[in-house]
Structure 1
Amino acid sequence: MAGCFITFEGGEGAGKSTQIERLKRRLGELAQPALVTREPGGSPHAEEIRAFILGGRAKHLGPFAEALLFAAARIDHLDKTIVPALKRGTHVLCDRFADSTRAYQGSAGNIDKELIDQLERVTLRGTRPDLTFILDLPAEVGLARAGERRAGRGEGADRFEGEEASFHHSLRQAFLSIARSEPKRCVVINADQEPDEVEAAIWAALRARLPQITRSRLSEDAVRPLDVA
């Protein structure tokens, strides 16, 4: 059985990484194999592109050039990491995916939607998330969280964290618009609450949308009849 592809989207400081790790732990307790990955990145070549983009070295080229770089990273990520994992029955939990390109370069970057759609079709080649969690919170709250996180690590703002507040407000609306346009795939989670509450909301939505991966594989193995030669 193929694995499920679950993505986490949202603005800066929404807590995606935290919640992905919590979900992986829960799935592990049920003997459900899960792989955590991220975008841009997730494969050696894609990580090189990530460093180039987030370091701000592509900003002067404009949003469309950045979208092309994200697409190149995504192709390598799909080929080397995501698709092989899904084929072997491992669930893939991805921190950002194609929706981020739609939001960051498409909506906030003012690239024509049809152009983004065409780029997405060529890049994804039919591989789409089974479920997408959009972690939603006010832009100011997310930016404050991201700033605290950077301060704790002694890091500066990356390419996108350093944008004006208006950019981040546009991002939030872009992600909510995506959720409204694809309600069967997307679930909006209120991320402006305690991590335990966010985790509980994600698990409840997962049980409703993909119940097969919220059951223990250990119990299934226990009742599966043995093959008789």
Structure 2
Amino acid sequence: MYTALGGIIGMFALFAAAEGHTERAFLLLIATMIIDSTDGIMARFVRVREVLPHFDGAMLDNVIDVLTFVWVPAFIMWKEDLLPHPLWIAVPILAALYAYGQSEMKTADAFFLGFPSYWNIIALYLFWLQPVSWVAVTLVVIPALLTFVPTRYLYASKNRILWKTTWSLGGVWLLLVTYLLWQDRPALTLIWLSLYYPVYYMLASFYIDFIVRRTVIPDPDI
């Protein structure tokens, strides 16, 4: 199964991180992101729900996401000493477990509600930039707090709002990040440049949430 492949790759990402091959681990996590971004589209195309009506693909997807978006990145943060104390690793883990425990983590109108646990991306930039302790902690605490704020975030594989821009910028970002991970000494300028997509994603999500909140939905009984 295509979705399950993400779990297998995620396991090997954990193995790579444990052996100290952090760049390889991130490359494997990039592969899981590609699978996660496309498995829903593929499932709808081949009509998995009709073929396997009793199989819950969404539950499988969440199980794999916890591995690849949370546990492996958290392990990398610990392994590479990216935070000033191991106890800080509990922050993203607790936030993510809260997020995945929410019945409305993915809304009916195809958004994520609350920060969507992109701890793999946060771990990647902590690894690359190696910021001072207080900055590293801030970059973990703020997204964790945003998990508890009911703000809508783009769900690119399902939501049609800005989907062409999001997919185009995201595709270029994936290529750039993959290129940088293959380099022995990635150029710092390109690393900073690659932040364009996380910044776009956050700003676009906040903007769309603002617009949605201002939209008045008429009462059908009126």
Q: State TM-score, norm by structure 2.
A: 0.30
Asked which structure has the greater RCO (Cα within 8 Å, sep 6+), the reply is: 1
Which of the two has greater strand per residue? 1
Which of the two has greater helix per residue? 2
